[in-house]
Amino acid sequence: MWYDMWYWFLLIPLLLFSLFTQFRVKSTFKKYNQIATKNGLTGAQAASMILNMHNLVNVRIEGVSGELTDHYDPRSNVLRLSDSTRDVNSIAAIGVAAHEAGHAIQDGVNYVPNKIRASLVPAARIGSSSGPYLAIIGVGISYSIEFGMTLAYIGLALYVFAFLFYLVTLPVEFNASSRAIKILNTSGILTSDELKGAKKVLNAAAMTYVASTVSALFSLLRIALIVLGGRRRD
């Protein structure tokens, strides 16, 4: 069918874009993780300073293994910094730590997109893991079982929640980076030249979220075409 042709035509550049964003974030992080800052602070120390500036004394800082596995856990008020960030003094480490502290600040001020994303997590997990399979199975059994297309629509609807999660993640991540850059600038944690490097690291990381959202949209359209095609044949 025509949409199968367009599927493969669009899939290749999407895969290339995703690979490029992954390569860019790793190479940019590696470059600026080798440049020490003048203040001598580690990622953990910078994050602690930022949290204290915003009276977030209830947020703990812990380590997590791996590289670029940094994240903020709002359920337990824990900011986890990876091996490549926590005890490292570099432009990249401080930039990433400040970004994660930005998520803690969002949680502290009840940033609306952050709350929306948190509310979507349960449905998004189910939709991402089960939605496509339910849609395909539903279309497949619709020829012999009456409720087949109902199952397909349920699968499609579940995946919509997964896409919405990716979509609302964009403003959350961009806002966390914006907060981080502003704080690093106004607090003097980084110099103006060091700040340019931190921006490059965070901008590269942001593009991976853009790629994930585009990929989710692509999958949603693909599933919708399969379901709509099954309805026409029904």
Amino acid at 23: F
Residue 92 Cα distances to 37, 156, 184, angstroms = 9, 40, 12
Look up 100 and say whether it is catalytic.
yes
| Annotated catalytic residue, options 100, 146, 173, 194 | 100
Chain centroid to CA 216:
12
Residues 6+ apart with CB under 8 A from 5: none
DSSP-derived secondary structure letter, 37: -
Contact indicator for 20, 228 with CB cutoff of 8 Å: no
Residues 6+ apart with CB under 8 A from 28: 92, 200, 201, 204
What tokens were used for 29?
A: 């992080």
CA–CA separation, 231 and 225 (whole Å)? 10
- Would you name the residues annotated as active-site residues? 100
